[in-house]
Every structure is written in C-alpha cells, then in structure tokens.
Structure 1
C-alpha cells in the first residue's frame, strides 16, 4: 500500500461509511458499507511498516492537533475495535434500519478516533461523538423505557465530556500543553477533572448505573455494539493517562466484587451481562492501577479478549430476544432444543468469560492476577479471586443455564438468522484461537504494549484456576439443589441510582415548590406596587386631583416669575 496511506487514521473509513449509510436509502448498499468499511480501516491500520506513526497533525490557533498516533499502547485497542466493527456489521445484516446502521458506524469510528488521538482536544471531539452517535442505538428500540434510558445515558456522557474538556483547559493553562500522555493526579485539579470524566465512561462505582440502565434497553444489535467500545475506550484512556495510580487498584477491585451480588439476583439476562461487564472492567481498572509492564499488558489483553467474548454473549442473548421475544430468565428455558447453535456459541462465550483454561479469558486474566500478587496487593488480589468465582456463577453458568436449559418453558423459537450465527461462530473461533497453547496466545501477547515472554500455562496456574472453577460450580449446584439459590422472578433490582434518582426527584419537587412560592410572592408584590403607583397617579392627575385644585394667584405669579428667570438664564448661556 502506498506510503501516503500510512498516515491516515482508520477511523475516517468508518465515519465516512456512517455518513454514506445515512444518505443511502438502499439496504444492500448500507450493509455492504458496514462490511467493507472495517476492511478498509484494517488496510489503513496495517499500512505503516513500523509503529510510532503520528499522522493527521496540524496546527490551529497555536494548538497542535494530532488525529492519528499509532504506538504499542494504541495498537491492540485499535485492532480489536476494527474487528468488533466487522463482527457487528455481520451480526446486523438482517436489520433494515438506516438510523442504527449509520449510528453504529459513526460510533465505532469515533471510538477508534479517540484511541488514536494524540491531543486532548481531538480526544474530546471523538469522546463526544461516541456519546451522541451511540444514544440512537438505545432510542431505536422505540419503547418509553428506552427513550428515558437514552436521555439519562446522553446526559451522563455529555457530563463526562464536559469534565474532560474542563480538565484539558485547566491542564493547558497550567502546563501550556494539550498533549494526551501520562497525566496523573499530581497535577491537581486538571488531573482530577479528567480522571472523573474518564471514570464515568469506565463505569466507576457510584457512576456505573448508566450501563445497566441503557444496554438492556438498546436494540438487539445495539446492545452488541454498545458492549464493545465506550468502556474499553475509557480503559485505554486510563492506561494512557493514569497508569500506576494506586487509587485505581482499589476502585477496580471494588468494581469486580459488587456487581456479582446484583447479577446473581437479576432476572433480565441482558442486564446480568451489563453487571458482568462492570465486573470485567474492574479487572482492567485494577491492572491499570498496578501499572507495571505486566499489568498494562494484562489490561490490554483483557480488553481485547473481553470485547470478543462479551460481544458473543450479547449476540447469544440478542438472538434469543430476536426469536423468543424475551430475555427474562423466569420466562426462558429449554431453548437448546430449537436453538442448538446459539446454545453452543453462548456456552463458549460463558466459558471464556469464566477464564476456563484454553479459552481467551484465561490467558488475559492471568496477567492481571499475577501482576496484582507480585506487587503485594493481597486484599485486592483476594477480591479479584472472589470475583473470578462470581463471574462463573452469574455469566458462566446462569446465562446459558436459565436461557437454554433449566425448566422447559415450552418455547420453541426458530434458530437465529444465518448472519447472526456467522458472527457468533467467528467470535467463538477467536475465543478459542486467542488461548490456543500452540501459537494463539503468543500472537495475542506479541501485540501487547510490552515484550515480556509471559507464560499462562504453568501447572500451578492451570490447577489453581481449575480448582476455583470446580468449587464455584459445586457451590452453584449445591445452592440450586437445596433451594437456596435466588429464584428467577419478575421484579426490579434497586441499585445505587435509586438514591440519587429519589434525591434528585425530591430536589426537583422542592425547587418547583419554592419557585412557585417565590413567583406567587413576587406577583403579589408587583400587584401591591401597581396599586400604590396607580393610587398616587390618580392623586395627581385625577379631575379631583392636585393639578385640578384651585391655586392662589399670588403663588401662581411667583412660580411664573421663577420659571421665566430660569428660561432667561438658559437662553443667555446658550447665546
């Protein structure tokens, strides 16, 4: 490929296809674009002969912008985003919605652009485009719940961008630079503003509810697309700007643990996957906080593998929703009889996220666990260990068990459309390839930020992982047989958002009442002043008022003389 293409960001191929999808009324043209654009993006991605490329650089108003920085850190994130866009295009081939076709391409392209951004303003622009474009994947579902969830999603993500921009401007004022490199929290206000802005998209504790609120309300294909980009873009931004910040170790450890309890009792299986996504993000955040070469590799590898197996799980549940019309665990069961391929693919995704040896989650999670233990973070390591068992409970077992086995719901939906099966089949093959002991995981490790020669297939690591998985499986079986496992039933699980929604609703009601009272008092005061002014004017200008009363002639003569004198003085001065 000519050298000129080595400096063009692959993001532009996807964003251009989003524009063309918006303009094209033809379903077939749009689907061809959704498949072709990631291929073109991949060709642009591999065009540079070496890493360290800096392209799309220009200066405006004394500020240097860089739209394409390809280095060892951005490489694995950029590659997996392109792969995800390709898989999403295949999975959505059956859909005939111009809006979601265009939104998905803009969303993937802007996320890719954010990963390749070399400065804070370029990052901000792509950061906000991801929010604006992705919300249409939620609204397209067309329900009142999806409209409300989309509004909340957009508000929180715009807030994330505002904080990011505010931090960038403060950083510029303090340092005179907008380069997007390691920032850290030591820089003061700028660092904290950027940190919180990124933390919103990374779904930090207490800032995470947008994820469980929006993803289950998206369209069938929209949830698959959403699962790939926003949160992993935030993980990349944390690794770029805040690697080694110890607070991230504890934030990540907490993120891995608390979703386990919600996911176990949740009835909506796509919401279970949203909680599971939060759990997996915690491993990546913790790895970024540890900050060593092994830990950063672990964060990048986990993000790479996670995008594939999480998309696979959302694809499986999307296929169930598409055919059965529901993903409520209480309404499913026995679907393996009529959806055997979807069942097998979903099980592969479930085993991958559970980090079974010889599947992708195992070789990715191994580095984070090892790095955390090596740096002496014993309590966080124990929390990660507990979370590893927990993810088997709610995603490794619960998802496939209640959807495809459990009791027989008597539903016999048709197998998923062929294009969905193709996308799930490719994702499943990647889950196996990335962990293959004879070449697969070595390829994955070769594209990571640091060359370390790490081997996940040591006897003690494999045996420890199998012991953990067997113990967690036994716990599920015992709890299920004894009746102690939470039964699947209709209901709403209250999360932290209940607090600020109730508080916010109370504040809005109080403000409304106070403004109403103030308005009433103001209106009453204006009426009183109007009556007083009217009374005074009548006292002067009324036929019986002051100007109409009899005035003594002597007084009138005196005032006439005074006015004449004033007029003469004015005339004299003017002359």
Structure 2
C-alpha cells in the first residue's frame, strides 16, 4: 500500500498541517520532513507502477512511474528540502504553505499519466507560486505577480484546449509522445506545445521569468528557480522528444540571454537570464531526442536545479544582509561574508561547467549528442553559449558581489540555516561533478558515457580560460559595460511601453472622433430645433391664425383631388 501512495499528497498534507503548528523553529523543522518522505516514496516506488481512476468517462492516471519521472521527482523533492532549509528563518505562513503546495503540484505533474491530471497540477504550480511573489508585500510585487499569473494561467488554458482537441483526434488523453502528430500539423498538439513553451520561457515568451523571479521574496526566488521551468522541460521531454524545431528554439534560448545579462545591474535578473540560457541546452537535448541527448537533458536539469539554486541562495544571502542585489552597489563583501563567497564560487564553477563540478558532467552529454548527430552549427552555438554563461554568471556574479571595488559595506555572514543550505548544495555540486556515476544511474536510459576524456577536459578548459582572459582584458581596458543604476527593457518593452503607447494613441484618436461627432450632432440638432421654432414656434408661420375661407378652399381642393383620383382608378 505504501509504495502506491502518491508523493504529491505528502506535500498537500503538510500544507494542511503546517498552519496548525505554532510559528517558530518547530514548524520550520517539521516542514523539512515532507520532502524527505516524498523522496523516500519516490525512491521505493517500483518502475512501471500505474495508479488510475475513472473520471467523467476517462481513465485518469494519477501515478505513472518510470525513470524519467523518477529523476525529476527526486530532484524536486531535494530542491524542496534545500529551499525550506534555506527559508528556516521565515515566519510567514503564506510562504511556507505556498512552497509546499508548489513543490507538491510540480511532483504531481511529473507523475501524471494523462493530460487532464497534468492540467490540474500545471495550474496548481501557477496558483501556489504566485504567492511567493506577492509575499514581498510591495505594490510592484503585486503587479508583477498579476503579470506572472496571467501568463501561467494562459498556459494552462491553452493546455486544456489542446488536450480537448487531442482527445477528439486520438480518443484518449494519455500523456505520451506527441511528436508525430505535431509533425503532421495537428492543432491540438500544437496548442500543447505552445503551452509548454510558455512555461519553458521560449524566446518572446520568456519575459515573465526575468520580470517575476527577481520580484519575489529572497527565499521565494530560490524556490521559484527550481520547479516551473524544469517542469516544462520534463513535459517537453515526455511529449515532444525528437521534435527538430526544439533544437533551433533551444539554440536561440542559449544565445540571446547572454547579451542582456552582461549589461544587467540587478544580479537576480542576471541569474534569471542565465536560467533562460541553461534551459536552452535542455531544450536542444529534447529536440535531438536520442537516448544520449535525453539523458543529457535529464542530467542537466538535475544539476541545474542545484547550482542555480546555490547561486540564487548566495545572492539572496547578500540581499538579506545588505538590502540590495545591484552590482553597482556591491563589492568587497569577501571580507565579512567569506563562506557565502566560497559557496557562490562553487555555484559559478558548476554553471560554467568546470571539470569536477556538476555542470561539466551534464552539459557534455548534450554537446556530445549534438556532435554525434552532426549538428555541428548547433554544437558551435552551444560552445559559444557556454563561454557566455561563464562570462556573466561564472565571473560577473562573484566578481561584482565579493570583489571589484570596495563598496564599504560590512555585513554579517549569512544566517546559519542559509549557510547550511548553501553548504549542502555546494557539496552536491562538487560530489556529482567528481563522481557522476550515481546520477548517471538515475537517467532514463542506460549510460555508456565517459565525461572525463582528454578531449572534453581540454576543450572545456580552453573555452573557460579564454573567456576569463576576454573578461580580464575588457575590464582592464575599460571596455566592459559598467554597472549602471538603470533598468534594462527586454522584449517586454512591446507590452509594457510600446503597447500602452499604442493603446493611448488609439484612445486619443477614438476620443477625438467621438468628440467631433458629438459636437456635430449637437450643432445639427440645435440648428434643426431653431428652424422648427421659426416655423412652428409661437411667432412662427404655422402658428398664425388662418382665415376660414382659406381653410374651406383647402378642403375643397383636397376633396376634388380625391374624387379625381378615385374616378381614374
């Protein structure tokens, strides 16, 4: 019985119990129990397990266990544990409950065996996660949360519409590979693909990510970075493996965030762009669709959740102690926050794919898959993107926060719970990078891959060292863009600036036309009334007394005309 218990229910039970426990360390400690139980359940569930039920005439699969679902379920449980440990000090029931519901919904979606179940958990992640943004309590966070919620709910609406059309085409709602139907132009699968793309932050659909993640609370940003976009990656890997257009979408995703991240001053927005960049690698892996590529996607998602959380944790700790995450206002913090600095460097080395760190053993799988299938241009793009991410996340983040100019800030080291969460995450980043076999054993397909070959190591080190040299030269010559106290607009300019301007212009045109039409009708009516007054008013022609003879004559003429017409007819 216990091995068929859905792990997402553990989080929902926790969300119901937690508010009943007095606020304090006891509640924080108990919150850590639920992701541990979830991970244990996922680890012990037998592969091939299905838990189904009838719902409005459809077979609904609440639990479908295979290796792809298991690895994502495990990393989501681990991410929930680390995030809740990082948030130990938080005394906000809304955030605590929202975090559990968010993680539970993400895990429920991972094990969903049909599109209806996926939809319910899909929307569950949207509704639960928005409270992590609103919990910041500012007017800006409220408006950002509304924009975020609109995008996430829209994704769900498109998903359920696609599921309905998919059911009409196939007669079932099973959540399985839809690549063939997508290639055939089936409208239902196209809508499902588009819904996944919104949540995965495809190009031109990505602005919700950079808008919302930095607007959340310090701990909320760490939690947000772990689930939503990786759930979308899982969904693409489940539903659209080998869909070639994903290769090119992913390649674009790896490129464009680099240029925005270089000029961005808010370091949490830099990490949000970096997150977009890393998602591109995973999307390319799904698009290639081979066993090696899909293993690379799953491994990179696992590693990425850890090192991206670590980077958000370190910047969050700095924000917690200093009140700012602006690169222009930080610097020299290594003097008083040395442990946070070390953990940040570990995260930077991991995301940059340094040998012996987790990013190296996962990213190399995708690069090898691209080269093996002769996508040489894509391979070159991914290499360039790897250099770019080292530039803005591997160097820029730790350099401007802990080194660079001395800001004069002397904050205390991060709280113990933050340090412990960062320490555990950093340990995992190093352990996975140095000994990848346990991670490889969890991957969807059998792995016969050796990441530490001479070619892989030398190629990656050359890339990283030349990127570091370029950064040094740019800094020494003063060419590197300075950290300006400004806000950079992305393509969201179209709906945050251009859109309102266009609407304002249309409203002015319509208002002007309405005013002109109203004045014209008013003047026309006024002239008509004056004319009627002149003829029918008290002094008008029609108001005069008419002689009796004239009236008799008029009646006689009318009578004569009537008789004449009657005679003719």
- TM-score over 0.5 (shorter chain): yes
The separation in 2 between residues aligned to 1:84 and 1:290, in whole angstroms, is 27
CA contact (8 A) 1:359 1:435 kept: yes
8 A contact 1:183–1:191 mirrored in 2 = yes
Using the TM superposition, name which of 322-331 and 23-32 deviates more. 23-32
Could you say if the C-alpha distance between residues 25 and 155 of structure 1 is closer, same or farther in structure 2, counting changes exceeding 3 Å?
A: farther
In structure 2, distance between residues paired with 1:12 and 1:525: 67
The offset of 1:516, in angstroms, is 5.2
Task: Name the residue aligned to 1:364.
Answer: 362
Query: Which segment is superposed worse, 9-18 or 98-107?
Result: 9-18
Question: How much does 1:529 deviate?
Answer: 13
Secondary structure of the equivalent of 1:434? helix
Question: 1:64 deviation in Å?
Answer: 1.0
Residue 38 of structure 1 corresponds to which residue in structure 2? 35
Greater Cα shift, 418-427 or 35-44: 35-44
Corresponding residue for 1:213?
211
The DSSP-based 3-state class of the residue aligned with 2:67 is coil
Conservation of the 8 A alpha-carbon contact between 2:43 and 2:70: no
2:126 aligned residue: 131
**Contact 1:88/1:224 (8 A) holds in 2:** yes
Equivalent-residue separation in structure 1 for 2:216 and 2:44 (angstroms): 35
Task: Report if the CA contact (8 A) 1:84-1:308 is conserved.
Answer: yes
Instruction: Kindly report which structure 2 residues correspond to 1:220-259, keeping only aligned pairs within 5 A, or say none.
Output: 220-259=218-257
Compared CA separation, residues 155 and 511, structure 1 to 2 (3 A): farther
Q: CA RMSD in A?
A: 2.6
Alpha-carbon distance between aligned partners in 2 of 1:166 and 1:511, rounded to the nearest angstrom = 32
Deviation at 1:341, TM superposition (A): 0.5
**Structure 1 contact 30–101 (Cα < 8 Å) conserved:** no
- Per the alignment, residue 308 of structure 2 pairs with 310
Runs of 4+ in 1 over 6 A off after TM superposition: 517-532
Q: State the SS of the aligned residue for 2:211.
A: helix
Following the alignment from structure 2 to structure 1, what is the Cα–Cα distance between the partners of residues 522 and 9?
62
Q: 1:519 to 1:167 in 2, by over 3 A?
A: farther
Q: Is 1:54 equivalent to 2:50 in the alignment?
A: yes
1:540 alignment counterpart: none
- Superposed CA deviations along residues 490-546 of structure 1, whole A, max 9, x for unmatched, are 1111211112333421343356457757877998999999999xxx9xxxxxxxxxx
1:36–1:519 CA distance, 2 compared to 1 (3 A)? farther
CA distance in 2, matches of 1:264, 1:93: 33
d(CA) in 2 for partners of 1:492, 1:214: 14
CA contact (8 A) 2:39 2:73 kept: no
- The 5-angstrom pairing of residues 512-551 of structure 1 reads 512-513=507-508
- Among 373, 376, 382, the residue aligned to 2:374: 376
Would you say the 8 A contact 2:43–2:74 is kept in 1? no
Under a length normalisation based on structure 2, what TM-score does the superposition of the two structures give? 0.89
Q: 1:513 to 1:177 in 2, by over 3 A?
A: farther
Q: How far is the alpha carbon of 1:462 from its aligned partner?
A: 0.7
Tell me, what secondary structure is at the counterpart of 1:229?
helix
**Shift in alpha-carbon separation, 1:333–1:12, aligned structure 2, 3 A:** same
- Residues 464 and 524 from structure 1, CA distance in 2 versus in 1: closer, same or farther, beyond 3 angstroms? same
CA 1:430–1:527 in structure 2 vs 1: closer, same or farther (change >3 Å)?
same
**Offset at residue 14 of structure 1 (A):** 1.0
**1:160-239 pair list within 5 angstroms:** 160-184=155-179, 185-186=182-183, 187-239=185-237
Paired residues, number: 538
What secondary structure does 2:61 align onto? strand
TM-score (normalised: structure 1): 0.88
| Structure-1 separation of matches of 2:129 and 2:409 | 33
Give runs of aligned pairs for residues 270-349 of structure 1, distance below 5 A: 270-349=268-347
- The residue aligned with 1:499 is 494
Q: Which residue number in structure 1 is paired with residue 457 of structure 2?
A: 462
Cα distance change, pair 25–528 in 1 and its aligned pair in 2 (3 A): farther
